[in-house]
Amino acid sequence: MKTKEQSAEALPLNTILDGDCIEVMNSLPAGSVDLIFADPPYNLQLKGELHRPDNSRVDAVDDDWDQFSSFKAYDKFTRAWLKAARRLLKPDGAIWVIGSYHNIFRVGTALQDQGFWILNDVVWRKSNPMPNFRGKRFTNAHETMIWAGRGEASKYTFNYEALKALNEGIQMRSDWVLPICTGHERLKDENGEKAHPTQKPESLLHRVLVGATNPGDVILDPFFGTGTTGAVAKMLGRDFIGIEREAAYRRVAEKRISKVRRFDRAALQVSASKRAEPRVPFGQLVERGMLRPGEELTSMNKRHKAKVRADGTLVGDDVKGSIHQVGAALEGAPSCNGWTYWCFRRDGKTVPIDVLRQQIRSEMTS
């Protein structure tokens, strides 16, 4: 019998697997991966590969048989790899897929049809895109990423505070301005040509992985290419699994990742959410004598008062209950955070009771 630990150990962590991504994914244990990042091909030139049954010439004006057929083939491919990907994800896992208008609508539809739950579409706004030389359309200055949970109920990872910190204290938006991959970062092959036509910038993966994974998470990239996902995962102290069928890309990726150094443990620490902090019952403040039964609390806006009781509940005008319930009732609000709503008096000053909670929490950690 396989135990959980054995399955986990069986994962080929931090390696690049050779082969067709669907077959390889199906050979790995189900429910073992935290995040999938996928940059699937969108320029499958199926027109050339698919042949019309009777070999007749296509009238370009009003015959869309060709494109229809190629979309069908692309959909089949997309649904197959997404199905294999979904099987691999842990119940609370999530997926990111990047694409352009050529393929992203097919991908999004397939994701929704297969039960993934879209969380955001994120636009990568390129600060230095290639111009439209013929002046017949808009400069194609962005690509689209879809972020989706494995299912509607998945408790996906989202490091809200870390992303907010990355954005100078303002909530991170669904449009990201980042340059395309150029200069030293752009990998070259033996001939000095670019090693991969669509190498993604590490900055993009940095933001995805800081925001949607934690250190130690397993990230799978089924279209590994030259390994941007693996390189950034390694820097950030995450584990990766790459799948790539082109030997030339694997070679470049191996070499690249071997040179990457993991950041210090301290540097990987990221601003944490308050939700993760330990819960402190209000009653503990009374038990510890930080507040005394009978003591009067005042609301932040000074409009209401309530008295502390021995069991850690409050009594106000015609209401009693928890600090939250009494606050909500007095304000006529659907809810209320009693910790920040109520204040007590010490040495002539009015202080939020949350200060006392912080005091207890700091004692807990030290």
Cβ–Cβ under 8 Å, residues 116 and 91: no
Interface residue with a copy of itself, options 165, 260, 319, 329 (CB under 8 A):
165
What angle, 0 to 180 degrees and rounded to 10, lies between the N-to-C axes of helices 228-235 and 247-259?
20
User: Token pair of 56, please?
Assistant: 């007749």
Q: Which of 20, 283, 354, 358 binds a copy of itself (CB under 8 A)?
A: 283
Please give the residues from 227 up to 256 whose contact with a copy of itself meets the rule CB under 8 A.
235-236
Paired strand residues for 334: none
What is the three-class DSSP state of 77?
helix
Q: Render the burial of 139-164: b for 16+ CB within 10 Å, e for the rest.
A: eeebbbbbbbbbbeebebbbbebbbe
User: Which among a copy of itself, DNA, none contacts residue 2 (Cβ within 5 to 8 A by kind)?
Assistant: none
Of residues 180-209, which lie at the interface with a copy of itself (CB under 8 A)?
Answer: 185, 201-203, 206-207
Stretch that binds a copy of itself, among 18-26, 33-41, 271-279, 349-357 (CB under 8 A): 271-279
Fill in the DSSP letter of residue 274.
G
Contact between 354 and a copy of itself per CB under 8 A? no
**In whole angstroms, how close is the CB of 13 to a copy of itself at the nearest point?**
20
Among 6, 27, 140, 350, binds a copy of itself (CB under 8 A): 140
> Least distance to a copy of itself from the beta carbon of 130, Å?
11
Stretch that binds a copy of itself, among 11-19, 26-34, 128-136, 220-228 (CB under 8 A): 128-136
Q: Which residue in 28, 21, 143, 158 sits closest to 94, CA to CA?
A: 158
Interaction partner, residue 88 (a copy of itself, DNA, none; CB < 5-8 Å by kind): none
83 touches a copy of itself (CB under 8 A): no
Three-class secondary structure of residue 52 per DSSP: coil
Q: Which CA distances in Å does 49 have to 45, 197, 236? A: 7, 21, 41
- Phi/psi at 121 (5° precision): -105, 135
83 interacts with, out of a copy of itself, DNA, none, CB within 5 to 8 A per kind: none
- In angstroms, give the least distance from the CB of 279 to DNA: 5
Least distance (Å) from DNA to the CB of residue 348? Answer: 23
Sole binder of a copy of itself in the list 12, 19, 31, 293 (CB under 8 A):
293
Question: Using an 8 Å Cβ cutoff, are 58 and 66 in contact?
Answer: yes
The four Cα atoms 101, 103, 104, 108 give a dihedral, to 10 degrees, of: 140
Measured from the CB of residue 1, what is the shortest distance to DNA in angstroms?
26
